[in-house]
Amino acid sequence: MKSPSLSTTAYAGASNGESSERPPFLRMRGLCKSFGHVTALSEVDLDLREGQVVALCGDNGAGKSTLVSMLSGVIEPDDGTIEVDGQPTYMTSPLRAQELGIATVYQNLALVEQRDVAANMFLGQEPVRLGVIVDRARMVDEATRVIQRLRVGLPSVRTLVGDLSGGQRQAVAVARAMLRGSRMLLMDEPTAALGVRESRRVIELIQEVRSEGQAVVVISHNMEDVFDVADRIVVFRLGRKIADEERAGLQREDLVSLLVHGCRSEEAGER
């Protein structure tokens, strides 16, 4: 991987066309990753800003999950640079990503069904008093505060996770990330196993997180969800970023054509 270095140019003309005096929360340049002879990512540039939802779209093996794995510290790029708040950094582990304010909600959610909501939200980071006693009252109070702030419909933070619906479990995983002070939330297919009503609630939850000022990155194959929640849509194909568009400037037929043909619908018709 290249040694990171600060750009000497102004933070204007970013890859998504935005201009700002502030750098994006996270900036990636020239990210590459190969597994043996297979190129998973090739020369990917991407800016992620707080208060914005970015949907990553593409077929299986397009490079979306590899990118998210890099951002969450699970794997390191072979080449390229990553900056957080304009400062170069190495994403060397999930712990490092968490320290930088990046939280990941995986499809399996990593929740313990036999423990209640409050315990799951503090899992591995339980507050203590007198140095040794778990502060259960504080856990309940703080978990309740975050759940209410996100307007999540739960019976109580004392409810066992095993008794919750799929959408409610997604909400608990997101609330845990918020409780830990995340600035960017990575979500992998958050509505894949949910019905229509619960999927709608998860979309509303993502909108709540965005309104709190967090950056949200969502991997999704559900086109309706993408157009409902995304501010920007980024399309990957064979390890390359082939489109980075504002949602308002991209039609559904263009997204389908990009996913299938690697170009917009009018361009595909000319071939």
Residue 78: inside a domain, yes or no?
no
Q: How many domains does the chain have?
A: 1
Three-point CA angle 212, 186, 210, nearest 5°: 20
Angle in degrees, 0-180, between the axes of helices 166-179 and 196-211, rounded to the nearest 10: 10
| CB-count exposure of residue 172 (10 Å: 0-12, 13-18, 19+) | buried
pLDDT of residue 66: 95
Model confidence at 271, pLDDT cuts 50, 70, 90, reads: low
CATH number reported for the structural domain that contains residue 161 in this entry: 3.40.50.300
Per-residue pLDDT tens over the stretch 63-103? 999 999 999 999 999 999 999 999 999 999 999 999 999 99
Give the β-pairing of 232-237 and 240-246.
Answer: antiparallel
Question: What DSSP character marks residue 116?
Answer: B
Residue 40: inside a domain, yes or no?
no
Residue 36: inside a domain, yes or no?
no
Query: Which range of residues forms the domain containing residue 168?
Result: 50-73+90-230+247-270
Residue 64: inside a domain, yes or no?
yes
Residue 205: inside a domain, yes or no?
yes
Question: What DSSP character marks residue 4?
Answer: P
Task: Please answer whether residues 185 and 214 qualify as being in contact, where contact means their C-beta atoms are separated by less than 8 angstroms.
Answer: yes
Model confidence at 110, pLDDT cuts 50, 70, 90, reads: confident
Task: Please answer whether residues 186 and 153 qualify as being in contact, where contact means their C-beta atoms are separated by less than 8 angstroms.
Answer: no
Residue 1: inside a domain, yes or no?
no
pLDDT of residue 131: 83
pLDDT of residue 270: 52
Per-residue pLDDT tens over the stretch 160-217? 999 999 999 999 999 998 888 899 999 999 988 888 889 999 999 999 999 999 999 9
**Three-class SS of 166-211:** HHHHHHHHHHHHHHCCCCEEEEECCCCCCCHHHHHHHHHHHHHHHH
Residue 168: inside a domain, yes or no?
yes
Residue 3: inside a domain, yes or no?
no
Helix, strand, or coil (residue 62): coil
Residue 253 CB neighbour total at 10 angstroms: 12
Alpha carbon distance 95, 223 (integer Å): 32
Backbone torsion region of residue 132, taken as left when φ is above 0, otherwise alpha when ψ lies between -120 and 50, otherwise beta:
alpha
Segment (H or E) for 96: helix 94-99
